[in-house]
Amino acid sequence: METLLLNKEDVSENVRMPELIPAVEDAFAAYETGDAQMPAKSYIDLPQYNGDFRSMPAYLDTGDWDAAGIKWVNVHPDNPTHYDLPTVMGTMVYSDPENAYPLAIMDGTELTLQRTGAAAGVATDYLAVEDASSFGVVGAGVQSYAQLEAVADVRDIEEVVVSDVNEDAVRAFVEHFQDRFDVREGSISDAGHCDVLSTVTPVEDPIVSPDDLGDHTHVNAMGADAEGKHELADDVLLGAKLVIDDHAQTTHSGEINVPYNAGVLSDDDIYGDVGEIVTGQTDGRTPDDGVTVFDSTGLAIQDVAAAHVVYEHAQEHGNGYEFDLLGV
């Protein structure tokens, strides 16, 4: 037996949205039905290096396939200026649940990028209006690309509005997608009045108010991944049909973490989690719904589901480098 080594390009080539979104949906369902194990994310704080490590293990059984793995990821803000390295880097170890053999070691950064987009795709499929044709994004970083790819996979998107203070980033986004969509730069309100809005910024002071949204906009709140981060005004969250991915993570470091821990927002204001919706226990969008919000923090089960997709397709396409890691 050999272990498959997959770099960023290998992961990117094999983690296509049409396969990834259903796999992430299956992961949400497995987690909801108790067919997944996902211990809490653990942290190793390294203040002497202004950084930390995080470990994210999970196992899931969808009925058709099962998978296990662990993502080892860091956050070192000084990396770009001091070492010419990314702030965040991830490594995924994907193992055979039956005998524990490490089937693959793969780039976890590209994996995270794409599975985060796929989670928004799942939520959009269940919570956006059926005839959604416009998409807005606030924040033109790398995640904005995955958001559009995912949303366009579940809805027939024609018009795209991108908003960011970085003009170069906006220009790059427009140039990348201009052959596929009617894409233009706009204000936060322009983006928010689209049928679907994704917010992918690291802000701690909310930048999206109720007036910035259409009457039936679905919002994927993707930017908050740490305590104190907060993109949507409290009134948006309180007035929306609010869906989360995981209670422990969202109340600790998701979009709702600030108002929840301040007592402004409570469990009564949370409609449910996405797993309840994909398993049919609760409704997605109904005719009476106005604004809907999905608070996504990113779960280890998503990483494992994405790794499964990557590994299966890499095997088919002959990607990666096989080597004898354990000598067994």
- Rg of the chain taking only CA atoms, in angstroms: 19
296 in a known ligand binding site: yes
115 in a known ligand binding site: yes
Distance between CA 158 and CA 161 in Å, rounded? Answer: 10
CA torsion through residues 91, 96, 97, 101, sign: negative
Distance between CA 198 and CA 30 in Å, rounded? Answer: 25
182 in a known ligand binding site: no
Distance between CA 204 and CA 213 in Å, rounded? Answer: 19
Distance between CA 318 and CA 328 in Å, rounded? Answer: 22
- 3-state secondary structure (DSSP) of residue 280: coil
Packing angle, helices 300-317 and 108-127, rounded to 10 = 110
Token look-up 């995981």 returns 246
Residue type, 38: M
223 in a known ligand binding site: yes
Distance between CA 137 and CA 128 in Å, rounded? Answer: 15
314 in a known ligand binding site: no
Does residue 71 have an active-site annotation?
Answer: yes
Q: Which two tokens stand for residue 286?
A: 């109904």
15 in a known ligand binding site: no
114 in a known ligand binding site: no
143 in a known ligand binding site: yes
Alpha carbons within 13 angstroms on the beta-carbon side of residue 30 total 27
Q: Which of 72, 111, 58 is nearest to 311 (CA)?
A: 111
Catalytic residue among 8, 41, 71, 241: 71
Residues 6+ apart with CB under 8 A from 5: 104, 105, 106, 320, 321, 322, 323
Distance between CA 245 and CA 217 in Å, rounded? Answer: 19
Annotated binding-site members for NAD(+) = 115, 142-143, 223-225, 229, 296
Enzyme catalytic residues: 71
